[in-house]
Structure 1
Amino acid sequence: MILLQVQQLTKYFGAELILSNIKLEVQTRDRIALVGRNGAGKSTLLKMIAGQLSFDSGDIMKPKDVSIGYLAQNTGLESNLSIWDEMLLVFESLRLKERELRRLEQSMADPHIYENQERYEKLLKEYDQLQIEFKDQGGYQYEADIRSVLHGLNFASFDYDTKISTLSGGQKTRLALGKLLLTKPDILILDEPTNHLDIETLSWLEQYLQGYDGAVLIVSHDRYFLDKVVNQVYEVSRKKVGKYVGNYSDYLSLKAEEYERDMKQYEKQQEEVAKLQDFIQRNLARASTTKRAQSRRKKLEKMDLMDRPLGDEKSATFSFDIERQSGNEVLQINDASIGYQKEAVSHQVDMRITKGESIALVGPNGIGKSTLLKSIVGKLPLIDGELRLGTNVSIGYYDQEQAELSSKKTVLQELWDDYPGHTEKEIRTVLGNFLFSGDDVLKPVTALSGGEKARLALAKLMMQKANFLILDEPTNHLDLDSKEVLENSLIDYPGTILFVSHDRYFINRIATKVVELSKDGANEYLGDYDYYVEKKQEMQELAEWDSREKNGKTPEKEQSSDKSAFFKDKEAKKVERQRKRRIEEIEQKIEELEQTVAENEKLLCEPDIFQDHEKVLKYNEAIQAAKSEIELLMEEWTELEELLHS
């Protein structure tokens, strides 16, 4: 069922065109991502669809009974009520029905009611009808729904009588999300819902949205999240939108294929145009060939000439370098307690970082990850323990709040004042690499958006040339393209990195080690995020097994053999997962190769190719190479399938 249609939507801010002729359709159970650069107009489009912003032309059509729920970026829940009472407001109509049911029950409990049979039957019928409505609308489970959502959004340890006004900004944002989820609108519109969520909460939200009965329209810069949740992507670029079916990774592949296909068609047409123009130029003046030349000119005039396909919009370009190498020992933390004003949030923290490592610091919100980073850079003292930096270690620190970027200076002055030894041209070149061009460098820092402040903070960090980067949520406020540039620059960075991030794709690409912070210390996992998750799950299953053994739920003589069987089963499942992943990779590769064969065989039918011996040879070689690779992959696929089902 179509829930909403956007037709030919156009939006101006003053004289500036923001969006032009936008088309978008939302159907039941759609999971749609809006992607694009910061400033492309994604949030503007969401606000127009949600009825929060007007538009200049076009239509937004939806049936009257379709409900829309909208959560803007960083929307905090402002209320003087307690957490529980605020969530109950969502179910006010159900609670009225509940009170009416109690009233009817009291009336039916009156012994005199049986004296009037007609009145009693009317009351009973009214009660039955109301009870059915109450049950169908979730009347017997709404309190369980509230607890489930609050638990999923990391409020399990909270007293639900806590006043919302006493909570932090991040907690208020999570509650605003929770309240919206409980309303269960037909179309759920979320603008950057993953901000302020730790990894555990993000995983819960992914599962919740996967099972959501309505449609979801979402803006997010978390690639891992988008790959798990969405089945359609609309790209907002150059004031227009393009639709791609699949998740974010599918969108990237489809977009690359589309560009390559369009470029081939464009080049082919340009070649034809050049031949026609050459023929016209050589033959128009000659009496014997002028008619043919005129005919070609008419053909050229009637041609619908293609524009050169536009590639990706300009990206930030930067890389991190170091001024001098540090010693092998970069940081040593022994038995540290961290926190504020002698109130520790984490105890007995031990950590050793050596040169060249890239370490992700993970853990739930409020456990002290940012506090630990601030202690390392000297912004906060340790409550207890020892912290020692190695020889020649120079720290470059990126603060997630960008607290140091609140001056009234211009962008140019902000960077130039830190590095006065450089010329204005050099500073402008650096800022240009971070997408500050022309008059952008004269903007006051206070007027910058979150994404612009993040890019300026990264520019300052790059100029520092420190050999130990400490990064607190560096991907917050960055669009997906800028994130990729940051990822690549950090992968190539020759120094040492310690970073906090809830972006799991980013952790997977950057981390060589994951350190999990808890209130009782820090645990180390050698590998990326996926390895960390797998290892945690294995440890949890082992702990459950040990608990069953201690409680005597497994006969003693069976314990050792059962435990061995458990580990064998665990290893077998791991191998099975690896085989399944490889089968998927092979299937995708075969599909790509078959498409290549089909395209090359089609090209061989083109007159300008089959008449050219060298081109025919080249395309035939490419076809044979692809077919040989398909054959090898098919053999591997068959072998894996047999192993999987044996």
Structure 2
Amino acid sequence: MIILQVNDLVKSFGADPILSNIKLEVQKRDRVALVGRNGAGKSTLLKIITGQMSYDSGQIIQPKDVQVGYLAQDTGLESSLSIWDEMLSVFEPLRKMERQLRSMEMQMGDPAIIENSQGYEKLLKEYDSLSLTFKEQGGYQYEADIRTVLHGFQFGTFDYDTSIATLSGGQKTRLALAKLLLTRPDLLILDEPTNHLDIETLAWLENYLQSYDGAILLVSHDRYFLDKIVTVVYEISRHRSTKYKGNYTKFLEQKAERLALDQKAYDKQQEEIAKLQDFVQKNIVRATTTKRAQSRRKQLEKMDVLDKPLGDEKSASFAFSIERQSGNDVLRLEQVATGYDANEPLLTGIDYHVNRQDSVALVGPNGIGKSTLLKVILKQLPLLKGNIAYGANVKIGHYDQEQANLHSQKTLLHELWDDYPDKTEKEIRTVLGNFLFSGDDVLKYVNELSGGQKARLALAKLMMQKANVLLLDEPTNHLDLDSKEVLEQALINYPGTILFVSHDRYFINRLATKVAELSRTHITNYLGDYDYYVEKKAETKERKELANAAQQTATVTATTKKSEESSYEKDKASKREDRKRLRRIEEIEERLEKLEAEQQTHEEALCDPEVYQDYEQTHHHNEEIERLQTHMEQLMEEWEALQLEE
């Protein structure tokens, strides 16, 4: 079922075209991504679809009963209510239904109504009907749904009576997304939903959206997120849209293949045209070959000439180099304590060692102190305790996510030239040109730039430093997908050492040789990329759970043995425990039979061609099989432990 269709949509701002003949289709349960460079018109298209912006021509077709939910980029929830009351407001129709049910229950206890058999029967039917509707619409679980979503967005430890007005901008943005998810619209439209989310929250959101009942249309620069969520990609480039099936990685592969095929077809046709034109030129005036030449000319006139493939739009082009290499020991942190309040340090007892040519991703929840740690290394914050040793010949370059090192009242040209006055204007312009600032662009003031342009300017300044150690705080923020890939390649080829903070898991996977997980009191080191880090974290959690289960089993076993050797009263207690154990064994055996049957159902489903050709269904069944297998293994461990207690 098609729930949204856009046909030949055109939008211009004045004489400047933004979107031309855009085509887009969203089916029920589709996960659709809009990708393209900053300024390509992605957010504009979302605003047009949601009726917040007009368009010049074309059609937007949508069934009347389709409910659409839209969250614009960096939209915060503004409300005078508490967190809990604001989330409850989503379910006001259910709460009204609940109040009606309570009222009916009161009426059913009224003797006057009970005596009126006809009226009482009618009331019972109305109550049964309303109860069924209430249950089907989630009336018995909406409070649990609220808690689940709030916990997922890291509000689990909050006092739900907290007023939203007192929260930070990032917290309000997360709450706006939480509220929208609770409304569960048929079509969920999200513009950069991953902004202000830490890695743990991103993982939760991915799992939530993968099982979402409705369709999703989103814009995001988070490539890991796109790979996990989307099944269809529309690229907006040169004002037009092109459709690709699959996730972001598949889109890149298909785009490259399509461009190569188009170029091959174009080259082949151009070669054919050249041969035909050459034949006509040489033979049109000869009496013996005129007819053949005229035939070739007609062939040329009838030919549908292919346009030259445009390929990719111009990309930034840069590389990071160093003046001289550092020693093998780059940074050594020993029992470091730092923060903004000397009486209450944010971080204490931090030990870590960075070697030459390490590429270390510093990860942890929002607010844990990642940026703070970078600042104390840069000596922008006081070292309250401990020691930081800098290696031989270390020269640090810093990228600040807030771009605080940029001067808003300077032009782009002088932003660089004032720092490097020995360079010629041509050299400065060349550097800026490599970062897509050309012509009169270099005479713009810094405060006129967009977030993405400021990010490119800050990277240009960083490149010119030729530092052998780079400290990067969220370097991919504000960059479009193409610029991220250029930055990644430049950093992969960088011969120095990198310590960086990022929520971009795709970026971490490509760049990191180590992942350092920060807590308030220590750093845990993982020798690998992001996927390796996630795998090892899961293994550690599983080992702890098994150890706890074994400890509990050992405790039960010891208690049972002690009871058997004790007095008559204790012997009775032991027998009770034994009966309890046997009941539990029976429960486990019954549960295992049911789980095996469920697993078999999913495995049989995977043999169905309609299922295994559908990525979403295949993914769902595989996840269920894996979940059931894990559950059965846990039950078997418990069953074996209980058998040993005989």
Query: The TM-score by the shorter chain falls in which range?
Result: 0.7 to 0.9
Q: What is the one-letter code of the residue matched to 2:275?
A: K
1:290-311 deviation digits (Å, cap 9, x = unpaired)? 1211121111112111111111
Cα deviation, residue 339, structure 1? 2.4
Name the structure 2 match of 1:402.
403
- State how 1:450-465 maps to structure 2 within 5 Å: 450-465=451-466
Name the structure 1 match of 2:578.
none
- State how 1:475-514 maps to structure 2 within 5 Å: 475-514=476-515
1:374-411 deviation digits (Å, cap 9, x = unpaired)? 11112211333222222221111111122333512222
Name the structure 1 match of 2:644.
none
Q: Are the counterparts in 2 of residues 20 and 240 from structure 1 also a CA contact under 8 Å?
A: yes
Name the structure 1 match of 2:322.
322
Name the structure 2 match of 1:310.
310
Name the structure 1 match of 2:87.
87
Name the structure 2 match of 1:472.
473
Kindly indicate whether residue 270 of structure 2 is the aligned counterpart of residue 267 of structure 1.
no
- CA-atom RMSD, angstroms? 1.5
Distance in 2 (CA, whole Å) between partners of 1:172 and 1:383 is: 33
Distance in 1 (CA, whole Å) between partners of 2:182 and 2:464 is: 47
- State how 1:129-148 maps to structure 2 within 5 Å: 129-148=129-148
Cα deviation, residue 556, structure 1? 8.0
**For structure 1, which runs of at least 5 residues remain unmatched after alignment?**
558-646
Secondary structure at 1:383's aligned position in 2? strand
Cα deviation, residue 231, structure 1? 0.5
Cα deviation, residue 245, structure 1? 0.6
Secondary structure at 1:80's aligned position in 2? coil
- State how 1:417-566 maps to structure 2 within 5 Å: 417-553=418-554
Moved more, 183-192 or 439-448: 439-448
Q: What is the one-letter code of the residue matched to 1:257?
A: E
Cα deviation, residue 104, structure 1? 1.6
Q: Are the counterparts in 1 of residues 40 and 238 from structure 2 also a CA contact under 8 Å?
A: yes
Distance in 2 (CA, whole Å) between partners of 1:468 and 1:313 is: 32
Q: Are the counterparts in 2 of residues 359 and 511 from structure 1 also a CA contact under 8 Å?
A: yes
Distance in 2 (CA, whole Å) between partners of 1:410 and 1:256 is: 37
Q: Are the counterparts in 1 of residues 42 and 219 from structure 2 also a CA contact under 8 Å?
A: yes
Q: Are the counterparts in 2 of residues 35 and 220 from structure 1 also a CA contact under 8 Å?
A: yes
Moved more, 247-256 or 119-128: 119-128
Name the structure 2 match of 1:412.
413
Secondary structure at 1:204's aligned position in 2? helix
Cα deviation, residue 123, structure 1? 2.0
Name the structure 1 match of 2:112.
112
Moved more, 335-344 or 212-221: 335-344
Name the structure 2 match of 1:220.
220
Q: What is the one-letter code of the residue matched to 1:357?
A: D
Distance in 1 (CA, whole Å) between partners of 2:98 and 2:173 is: 30
- State how 1:57-76 maps to structure 2 within 5 Å: 57-76=57-76
Name the structure 1 match of 2:285.
285
Distance in 1 (CA, whole Å) between partners of 2:310 and 2:555 is: 65
Moved more, 327-336 or 468-477: 327-336
Cα deviation, residue 163, structure 1? 1.5
1:525-577 deviation digits (Å, cap 9, x = unpaired)? 111111111111111111112222322358989xxxxxxxxxxxxxxxxxxxx
Distance in 2 (CA, whole Å) between partners of 1:401 and 1:112 is: 71
Name the structure 1 match of 2:56.
56
Task: Summarize the Cα distance change of 1:383–1:112 in structure 2 as closer, same or farther, 3 Å threshold.
Answer: farther
**For structure 2, which runs of at least 5 residues remain unmatched after alignment?**
559-646
Name the structure 2 match of 1:200.
200
Q: Are the counterparts in 2 of residues 230 and 248 from structure 1 also a CA contact under 8 Å?
A: yes
Q: What is the one-letter code of the residue matched to 2:244?
A: Y
Q: What is the one-letter code of the residue matched to 1:179?
A: K
Distance in 2 (CA, whole Å) between partners of 1:292 and 1:197 is: 69
Q: What is the one-letter code of the residue matched to 2:511?
A: I
Name the structure 2 match of 1:574.
none
Identical positions, percent:
70
Distance in 1 (CA, whole Å) between partners of 2:404 and 2:51 is: 34
Kindly indicate whether residue 299 of structure 2 is the aligned counterpart of residue 299 of structure 1.
yes
Cα deviation, residue 226, structure 1? 0.8
Name the structure 2 match of 1:371.
372
Distance in 2 (CA, whole Å) between partners of 1:119 and 1:383 is: 77
- State how 1:168-187 maps to structure 2 within 5 Å: 168-187=168-187
Secondary structure at 1:155's aligned position in 2? coil
Name the structure 1 match of 2:276.
276
Name the structure 2 match of 1:243.
243
Q: Are the counterparts in 1 of residues 407 and 415 from structure 2 also a CA contact under 8 Å?
A: no
Q: Are the counterparts in 2 of residues 338 and 368 from structure 1 also a CA contact under 8 Å?
A: no
Cα deviation, residue 156, structure 1? 1.3
Q: Are the counterparts in 2 of residues 405 and 446 from structure 1 also a CA contact under 8 Å?
A: no
Q: Are the counterparts in 2 of residues 329 and 390 from structure 1 also a CA contact under 8 Å?
A: yes
Cα deviation, residue 121, structure 1? 2.1
Name the structure 2 match of 1:25.
25
Cα deviation, residue 505, structure 1? 1.3
Secondary structure at 1:551's aligned position in 2? helix
Task: Summarize the Cα distance change of 1:49–1:442 in structure 2 as closer, same or farther, 3 Å threshold.
Answer: same
Name the structure 2 match of 1:335.
335
Q: What is the one-letter code of the residue matched to 2:304?
A: D
Distance in 1 (CA, whole Å) between partners of 2:165 and 2:338 is: 27
Q: What is the one-letter code of the residue matched to 2:9?
A: L
Secondary structure at 1:286's aligned position in 2? coil
Name the structure 2 match of 1:3.
3
1:585-624 deviation digits (Å, cap 9, x = unpaired)? xxxxxxxxxxxxxxxxxxxxxxxxxxxxxxxxxxxxxxxx
Q: What is the one-letter code of the residue matched to 1:100?
A: Q
Moved more, 528-537 or 18-27: 528-537
Kindly indicate whether residue 97 of structure 2 is the aligned counterpart of residue 97 of structure 1.
yes
Moved more, 17-26 or 396-405: 396-405
Secondary structure at 1:385's aligned position in 2? strand
Q: Are the counterparts in 1 of residues 337 and 348 from structure 2 also a CA contact under 8 Å?
A: yes
1:26-83 deviation digits (Å, cap 9, x = unpaired)? 1101000111111111111111111111111111110111011111111111122111
Cα deviation, residue 471, structure 1? 0.4
1:319-347 deviation digits (Å, cap 9, x = unpaired)? 11112222222111111223222333332
Q: Are the counterparts in 1 of residues 114 and 120 from structure 2 also a CA contact under 8 Å?
A: yes
Q: What is the one-letter code of the residue matched to 1:525?
A: Y
Cα deviation, residue 261, structure 1? 0.9
Q: Are the counterparts in 2 of residues 339 and 345 from structure 1 also a CA contact under 8 Å?
A: yes
Secondary structure at 2:402's aligned position in 1? coil
Secondary structure at 2:476's aligned position in 1? coil
Name the structure 2 match of 1:579.
none
Distance in 2 (CA, whole Å) between partners of 1:405 and 1:168 is: 25
Moved more, 76-85 or 314-323: 76-85
Distance in 2 (CA, whole Å) between partners of 1:413 and 1:544 is: 59
Moved more, 187-196 or 377-386: 377-386
Secondary structure at 2:553's aligned position in 1? coil
Secondary structure at 1:160's aligned position in 2? coil
Task: Summarize the Cα distance change of 1:514–1:124 in structure 2 as closer, same or farther, 3 Å threshold.
Answer: same
Distance in 2 (CA, whole Å) between partners of 1:384 and 1:165 is: 36
Distance in 2 (CA, whole Å) between partners of 1:182 and 1:512 is: 39
Moved more, 153-162 or 104-113: 104-113
Distance in 2 (CA, whole Å) between partners of 1:379 and 1:45 is: 42
Distance in 2 (CA, whole Å) between partners of 1:47 and 1:443 is: 28
Cα deviation, residue 446, structure 1? 1.4
Q: What is the one-letter code of the residue matched to 2:209?
A: L
Q: What is the one-letter code of the residue matched to 1:478?
A: L
Task: Summarize the Cα distance change of 1:474–1:78 in structure 2 as closer, same or farther, 3 Å threshold.
Answer: same
Q: Are the counterparts in 1 of residues 221 and 481 from structure 2 also a CA contact under 8 Å?
A: yes
Secondary structure at 1:77's aligned position in 2? coil
Q: Are the counterparts in 2 of residues 513 and 528 from structure 1 also a CA contact under 8 Å?
A: yes
Kindly indicate whether residue 385 of structure 2 is the aligned counterpart of residue 384 of structure 1.
yes
Per the normalisation by structure 1, the TM-score is 0.84
